[in-house]
Amino acid sequence: MKILVVSQYFWPESFIINDIVRTLDEQGHEVVVATGKPNYPDGKIFEGYSAKGTQRERYLGKIDVLRVPLWPRGEGGAKNLIFNYLSFVFAGLLFLPWMLRKREFDAILVFAPSPILQAVPAIPLKWLKKAKLALWVQDLWPESLSATGFIHNRYVLRLVGEAVKVIYRHCDTLLVQSHAFVEPVARYAAREKIQYYPNSMDTRGAQSPFVVPPELDAVLTQHFCVVFAGNLGTAQALDTLVEAALKLRDDAQIRIVLVGSGSRLDWLKSQKLALELDNLVLPGRFPVEAMSAIFKRSSALLVSLTDEEVFAQTIPSKIQAYLAAGRPIIASMNGEGARVIDEAGAGLTSPAEQVPPLVANIRLLKAMDTQERAAMGEAGRAYFDANFDMDSQVSRLVGLLQR
C-alpha cells in the first residue's frame, strides 16, 4: 500500500508512530510522513531544525518526511499550546497539498494524541488524493481538555465537541486505542466506523547498548526502585507520588524514581527540597533507547493517572512498554489500564490518587520473594506478546486500512 501518515509528532520526538512507520516500511509498504518541527516535550525546537519554513528529510535514510512550520509549545500555558495546535493546522492546510503534489496514496493515517485538530489538514488531502482516511484516536476530546483543566468553559467545550463531530464525519475509519473509547467516540460518530486498535511496541531495541549513567545505575542497583518513565505533567497525579514518597521514608531501601521531564518537573524538584525527600529521585529525561536498560535494573515499574473518567478509559502507551520489559508493575489508576495489568497478572493496582493503597502495594511487592516478582514480569511479557506485538498489530492495521 501507499500510505500517508499525518502526525504533529514524529521522530526525533519519541512516539509510537515512529515504530509503526518503520514497521510498515519493513513490511513492504510505501510510507510518507507529514509532520511538524520537533519540540516535544520540552517545548523548544530541536537542534538542527527551525520553527520557520518547510523542510524535507528522510527517516532511517529511506522514508520521506515532510515538515511544516510550527509554533513551539514553549514552557506550557494555554497561549503557547493554542498557538502550537493551530499552527500545525494552518501550516498543514497551506503547505501539504503543494509538498505532496504528484504523490498518490491508497490511505491516509492520522496519529491523534492531543490535539485532535491535527486531523484537519488530512481532510482536504483525502479529497485531493482520493484516499481513505483513518484516524487513530489516542486522546478523547473534548473530555481530556476538561479533565486536565485546559478548558473549563462549557460553551467552549461544546464548540470543541462540534469540531470533533465534523472531523469524525470526514473519516472513513476511527481506530480507538482502548475498548473503553468506543462509547465516548460513538457520541460523535457512527458506531460502524469504530475499530479497536491498541497501541503496540517494537521490542527489537530491547538490547540497546545504552550505558546507564553511574549515579543512576548506583541508585537502581543498590535500592528497591519503583521507576516511573514518561511525561511529568498534570495528568500523571504527581501529587500522589510525592505523598507516597513521604510515607515511604521510613524504609531506607525504597526509592521512587521519576524518569522524564514535563510541565511539573520544577514543582517536583521544589517538593523534593522542601520535604527533604531523599527517596524521590529525579534523574531527568533520557532517550527512548535508554529505557530498556533502565527498566532492566528497576525493581518495579510505576504508572499513575489522575482520578478522571477520561483517563480511566485510556491505556497509556507506557503500559505496553512496561509489559514488554518483563518487570512487575505498580499502578495507581482506574479503568482500562488497571484492567490490563490485572488481566495479565503483571503487578499490583490501586485506585487513582489513593495514597495508602499505593504505599501498601509498594511495600507488599518489596516483601515478595524474587521468584514471585519475576513471575509477574513473565506474565506481563506473555500478555504483551499475545496482545500488543508490533509486527502482528501493524499487519492488522494494514488490513483495517485496506477495508
Question: Which CATH code for domain 2-200+389-402?
Answer: 3.40.50.2000
CB 147 within 8 A of CB 114: no
Q: Spell out the CATH class of 204-387.
A: alpha beta
Q: What is the 3-state secondary structure (H, E, C) of 41-82?
A: CCCCCCCCCCCCCCEEEEECCCEEEEECCCCCCCCCCHHHHH
Here the cell at position 216 is 543512576
Name every residue whose Cβ is closer than 8 Å to that of residue 149 and which is 6 or more positions away in sequence: 234
Name every residue whose Cβ is closer than 8 Å to that of residue 192 and which is 6 or more positions away in sequence: none
- State residue 288's pLDDT score: 80
Q: What H or E segment, with its residue span, contains residue 92?
A: helix 78-99
Here the cell at position 214 is 553511574
Residue 146's nearest CA partner among 263, 304, 307, 308 is 308
Amino acid of residue 315: I
- State residue 74's pLDDT score: 85
The whole-angstrom separation of Cα 238 and Cα 277 is 14
The whole-angstrom separation of Cα 41 and Cα 125 is 28
Residue 115's nearest CA partner among 90, 82, 151 is 82
- State residue 81's pLDDT score: 86
Residue ranges per structural domain of the chain: 2-200+389-402, 204-387
- State residue 201's pLDDT score: 81
What is the residue whose three cell numbers read 482500562? 336
Phi-psi map region of 348: left, alpha, beta (phi>0 left; psi -120 to 50 alpha): beta
- State residue 157's pLDDT score: 80
**In the Cβ-directed half-sphere of 120, how many Cα atoms lie within 13 Å?**
18
Mean pLDDT for each consecutive 10-residue tract of the chain (403 residues)? 97 92 96 96 91 96 97 82 93 97 96 91 97 93 72 79 92 93 92 93 68 92 96 93 97 97 93 96 90 94 93 89 96 95 97 98 97 97 93 94 89
Name every residue whose Cβ is closer than 8 Å to that of residue 393 and which is 6 or more positions away in sequence: 197, 198, 200
- State residue 232's pLDDT score: 93
2-200+389-402 against 204-387: fold identical: yes
pTM of the full structure: 0.78
